[in-house]
Amino acid sequence: MAGGASATTTRRPVVLYPSPGMGHLVSMIELGKTLGLRGLPVTIVVIDPPYNTGATAPFLAGVSAANPCISFHRLPKVDRLPPVASEHQEALTFALARASNPHLHAFLASTRPRVLVLDFFCSIALGAARALGVPAYFFFTSGAQVLAYFLHLPVLHASTKSNFKDMGEDELVEMPGLPPFPATHNILPLMDRRDEAYGEFLRVCGELCLADGVIVNTFRSLERRAVDAVVAGKCAPTPKVYCIGPLIKSGEVATTTGGGKEEEGCLAWLDAQPEGSVVFLCFGSIGRFGAEQIKEVARGLEMVSEQRFLWVVRAPPSADPAKKFERPPEPDLEALLPEGFLARTGSRGLVVKSWAPQRDVLAHKAVGGFVTHCGWNSVLEAVMAGVPMIAWPLYAEQRLNRVFLEAELRLAVAVEGYDKGAGVVSAEEVAEKVRWLMESEGGRELRERTMEAKRRAEDALREGGESEATLAGLVDAWRTT
């Protein structure tokens, strides 16, 4: 792996610093590709978590081979992190960035980049950038509505001593630029202000205002109310905001969890299905269900007797806390699914293990619906494909995204039950929502709204479009840095 780019004045790189989550890394790589196409050399700094998430080297090598403008620099691995008082992975990510900061500082000092672009979870690097006189921007990989939430969180924090987790589902949170949302649908690591992750998020929310700018993976016409509130300073004093999206994966390179035969098998199977007939179920790079929930999904799909489906199944989470964040093993489908399920549904459904080429699947003409965990990358891929969504949030900010998708953007219908009791969504609910999306008049109207959002997204990315013009202006400014 390359150890960095040239430090000459003419070829000083833009350095991108993503957090180790695959969704964040992929988004930052897409930003790097876009900058490279505009003539800027790009170096992406990689930090490895101290737990096994699978080898990223083949994936990164493929990116470099296809994009000579991009090099990667891997910081020395942190073998042990100090203990964190949180059950949330985000707390570990913050701790990893802090432990890696001396290595990053040394790299920046030797490279002298023209600009440093930071992931939200890597905000600790702002200090290094300031010390070296390097302009620093955040790249916000979620949408503008979540950005508005974070910018306003310090104000909300100062106004109350309550914990979100102690509020009822009928208690609504109100913030500028956002629809009112139930307190129960707050970002999961922020439900308890005593949690270490909450304190880290609160710190970064204040630091967003210290950057030279915030780049957001969205387009204004998708989230107009939130963007306008942020730009007007209604959430908090804010540096300049650049909406340059939607940036989605432009080439489906296999990630750490699959590729090859799985990709060929998915797309070949879709080729044989009628247009708009398949519902696609996929829950992100780390989204996993317990064994009981997997069986309920299977039962629900069987209940919609004529419905074609493509379902990505991942192994359930480990009961061992030490393996909570590690890459899961391949799922045992025969053990996880109801007896005989694969045989009974084989004529109309395909179940794949762990991974599918999501962007290419969504873009396939056979796909007519998407059951998603509401991760922002997945939302943008669905919008760009014009595929309506069933929202089933699992972790991080996804419950907020579910509210925005359903109440504000009107691009999804949500399943019910994931936030009740044991959190298991019933087979009957799965069947009802799939049937509604694929067969009802309401589902048809949802599909039409999603196609209109697709057209607006394409307009934003065209030459002179709102996102393209914003990015062009930003790159021109960086060239003179």
63 neighbors 255 (Cβ within 8 angstroms):
no
Choice between 121 and 420, residue whose per-residue pLDDT is larger: 121
Q: Which residues contact residue 320 at a Cβ distance below 8 angstroms, ignoring those fewer than 6 apart?
A: none
The per-residue DSSP string of 298-328 comes to HHHHHHSTT-EEEEEE-PPPPS-GGGTTSPP
Paired strand residues for 391: 372, 414
As a whole number of angstroms, the distance between CA 91 and CA 212 comes to 25
Q: Which residues contact residue 97 at a Cβ distance below 8 angstroms, ignoring those fewer than 6 apart?
A: 19, 47, 121, 122, 123, 124, 125
As a whole number of angstroms, the distance between CA 43 and CA 2 comes to 9
- Per-residue pLDDT reduced to its tens digit, 249-287: 886 444 444 555 667 799 999 999 999 999 999 999 889
As a whole number of angstroms, the distance between CA 416 and CA 433 comes to 9
4 neighbors 75 (Cβ within 8 angstroms):
no
Phi, psi of 464 (to 5 degrees): 85, -5
pLDDT at 452: 98
52 neighbors 327 (Cβ within 8 angstroms):
yes
Averaged pLDDT for residues 304-309 = 94
213 neighbors 137 (Cβ within 8 angstroms):
yes
205 neighbors 175 (Cβ within 8 angstroms):
no
Averaged pLDDT for residues 397-426 = 95
pLDDT at 458: 98
In the numeric block, the tokens 């007896």 are attached to 339
pLDDT at 51: 67
Task: Collapse the DSSP code of 137 into the 3-class scheme (helix H, G, I; strand E, B; otherwise coil) and give the result.
Answer: strand
pTM for this structure? 0.94
pLDDT at 250: 81
Sort residue 373 into left (φ over 0), alpha (ψ -120 to 50) or beta.
Answer: alpha
361 neighbors 258 (Cβ within 8 angstroms):
no
Residue type, 19: S
As a whole number of angstroms, the distance between CA 283 and CA 316 comes to 12
Averaged pLDDT for residues 24-31 = 94
Please say if the pLDDT value at position 5 is more than 50: no
Poorest-pLDDT segment among 62-71, 76-85, 343-352: 76-85
pLDDT at 318: 84
> What's the gap between Cα 376 and its chain centre?
4
Q: How confident is the model at residue 358 (pLDDT cuts 50, 70, 90)?
A: very high
As a whole number of angstroms, the distance between CA 209 and CA 234 comes to 13
Question: What does the longest C-alpha to C-alpha distance in the chain come to?
Answer: 65
Tokens of 377: 């990358």
Please say if the pLDDT value at position 6 is more than 50: no
421 neighbors 403 (Cβ within 8 angstroms):
no
pLDDT at 52: 62
Please say if the pLDDT value at position 163 is more than 50: yes
As a whole number of angstroms, the distance between CA 403 and CA 232 comes to 23
384 neighbors 457 (Cβ within 8 angstroms):
yes
Q: How confident is the model at residue 319 (pLDDT cuts 50, 70, 90)?
A: confident
157 neighbors 177 (Cβ within 8 angstroms):
no
As a whole number of angstroms, the distance between CA 233 and CA 216 comes to 16
Poorest-pLDDT segment among 2-16, 37-51, 149-163, 228-242: 2-16
Averaged pLDDT for residues 343-358 = 96
- Per-residue pLDDT reduced to its tens digit, 369-396: 999 999 999 999 999 999 999 999 999 9
As a whole number of angstroms, the distance between CA 481 and CA 477 comes to 7
Percent of the chain with pLDDT over 90: 83
pLDDT at 58: 87
pLDDT at 251: 62
Residue type, 68: P
pLDDT at 327: 78
As a whole number of angstroms, the distance between CA 457 and CA 467 comes to 9
As a whole number of angstroms, the distance between CA 182 and CA 174 comes to 9
Percent of the chain with pLDDT over 70: 93
